[in-house]
Amino acid sequence: MSMILLLAMSAAVQLPDYSSFQLSEAEWSRVTSPEYRHCTNDAVSNGDAVECIYTEWDRLDRVLNANYRSAMAKMPNRQARDRLRNAQRVWLRQRDEDCSVENAGGHTAYELALHQCEIDELIRRVAWLKRLSR
């Protein structure tokens, strides 16, 4: 009987709600590199800021993938792994929708706004996955 209960409990593992996940300033600093923070502080144009974002994006993409693999390894069963995989796919689609040209907020700085939205979401997702993999 206790084995059945244990199996039922492990199948019911729920992922934390990402939509309400808030990133603290301290977590933001732990996820981003010092180089990124210096680069964005020193940027004098939108083009400079976009270059900062491109460089950090490459680094964060690797971090995101490592945290995703770690979180997947911590999932207690196949159903939980499937839920995380599906949640990751939903996040990618939602990020692409939220950070679309239509939602960038104007034409003059649209590229910066678009890329800033994408990197902010990437930073937030890395922190969420980090918490999940603990």
Domain ranges of the chain: 25-132
* CB atoms closer than 10 angstroms to residue 15: 14
The CATH architecture of the domain made up of 25-132 is Up-down Bundle (1.20)
Residue 115 exposed, middle or buried by CB count within 10 Å (0-12, 13-18, 19+): buried
Are residues 23 and 130 in contact, defined by beta-carbon separation less than 8 angstroms? no
Are residues 126 and 31 in contact, defined by beta-carbon separation less than 8 angstroms? yes
From residue 101, alpha-carbon distances to 34, 55, 83, 88 in Å are 29, 21, 29, 22
Q: What is the pTM of this model?
A: 0.78
Q: What contacts 98, CB < 8 A, 6 or more positions away?
A: 117, 121
Output the tens digit of pLDDT for each of the chain's 134 residues.
333 333 444 445 688 888 888 989 999 999 999 999 999 999 998 888 888 999 999 999 999 999 999 999 999 999 999 999 999 999 999 988 888 766 555 445 777 888 888 899 999 999 999 998 88
Nearest to 96 by CA among 106, 84, 104: 104
End-to-end CA distance of the chain, in Å?
30
